[in-house]
Amino acid sequence: MKILLTGGAGYIGSHTCVEIVQAGHDAVIADDLSNSKPAVLERLKELTGKDIPFYQIDVADKEKVDEMFAKEHFDAVIHFAGYKAVGESVTKPLMYYRNNIDTALTLLEVMEKYDVNNFVFSSSATVYGVPETVPLVEGMKTGCTNPYGWTKLMIEQILTDASAANKNLSVVLLRYFNPIGAHPSGRIGEDPNGIPNNLLPYITQVAIGKLPQLGVFGNDYPTHDGTGVRDYIHVVDLAKGHVKAIEYADEHKGTEVFNLGTGTGYSVLDIVNAFEKANDLKIPYVIKPRRSGDVAEMYADPKKAKEVLNWVAEKNLVDMCQDSWRWQSNNPKGYDE
């Protein structure tokens, strides 16, 4: 298949690009580079042995998207492009709704025009809101605590309605848990702008000496050590889930939703300890107040993806910690070197 990866220069998109090409498909990237660097394209060439066609466009720009579709004859789209900072979405909700919803609608309209009927969407476990019970199962109640999450849930709804109305369209919604790690080559990885919001990039920046210490947000949650529990998944496992999902979309119609997680929850302190042990490093930390909007515990029930997509996460926490550190230590300034 020839597959368009919107946001394909980003963290999850770039890792998915490698797996897509390794599975024998052709990848094309559309990315405005607003939260990624052009250097990733060179690295992708190095890892895949292919020049990945690249369009530096805003996926909400319908004219440019239309031109690209006219030229490329895609079989499928994996849609990663979007704003993704939870805190920023609270202060700039309109920017989030405009951008994230607009890009999805634009793609769907242009796909319909060019009769492209396979769509995989990068959704998030954040659509479960504050969980009543764990593990989280796909059929459970949804609802969000911030505009970023609502854009994910709204796009899930738009795609579900679009595939109900257009019997040719097939949609797979992937609800990611907490992607961490990097490609084992150390050539691609997560390169956040500014001070990281997420736990692993924060830890690796403390390890490299860019940040003095980690703040652990709360140690009074009802969890085994009082710190927040999440389902961390290696980004390469997550990327492989996209290959399964796009192949599934090609063979089925309608909409399906899958959790992509490991099914195991680790606390913040579990992660700090595992990172220290895996890399023989010390991560200084202090306990801080809870971060607003955080929940105590989230982890996936990954059964459906196993049964239907024949996908399971294969890498363990040691792999995740070592690969995160290899990326950061080989690229202290990310792609800016």
- Residue 27 β-bridge partners: 3
**CB of 126 vs ligand WQD, minimal distance in Å:** 3
Please, which contacts does 99-104 make with residues 24 or more away whose CB atoms are closer than 8 Å?
99/60, 100/148, 100/151, 100/152, 100/155, 101/151, 101/154, 101/155, 101/158, 102/60, 103/6, 103/58, 103/59, 103/60, 103/79, 104/79, 104/155, 104/158, 104/159
| 148 has catalytic annotation | yes
Strands in the chain per DSSP E = 2-6, 26-30, 54-55, 76-79, 118-124, 170-176, 178-180, 214-217, 229-230, 232-234, 254-260, 266-267, 285-288
- Annotated catalytic residue: which of 83, 148, 176, 248? 148
- Comparing every residue's Cβ against ligand WQD, the nearest one is 228
Q: Nearer Cβ to ligand WQD, position 66 or 294?
A: 294
The count of C-alpha atoms lying within 13 angstroms of the C-alpha of 52, restricted to the half-sphere facing its C-beta, is: 37
Tracing tokens 């992708």 back to the chain, one arrives at 44
Q: Nearer Cβ to ligand WQD, position 170 or 178?
A: 178
**CB of 275 vs ligand WQD, minimal distance in Å:** 12
**Chain contacts with ligand WQD (rule: CB under 6 A):** 84, 86, 124, 126, 178, 197-199, 202, 214-217, 228, 230, 268, 291, 294
**CB of 61 vs ligand WQD, minimal distance in Å:** 23
**CB of 141 vs ligand WQD, minimal distance in Å:** 17
Q: Nearer Cβ to ligand WQD, position 82 or 334?
A: 82
Q: Nearer Cβ to ligand WQD, position 72 or 294?
A: 294
How far is 305 from 136, CA to CA, in rounded Å?
13
Q: Nearer Cβ to ligand WQD, position 118 or 122?
A: 122
Residue in 161, 169, 149, 23 with CA at minimum distance from that of residue 97: 149
Q: Nearer Cβ to ligand WQD, position 159 or 233?
A: 233
Q: Nearest 5°: phi and psi at 257?
A: -120, 140
DSSP states of 152-200: HHHHHHHHHHHHHH-TT-EEEEEEE-EEE---TTSSS----SSS--SHH
Q: Is 119 helix (H, G, I), strand (E, B) or coil?
A: strand
**CB of 268 vs ligand WQD, minimal distance in Å:** 4
**CB of 17 vs ligand WQD, minimal distance in Å:** 18
Residues recognised as catalytic: 148
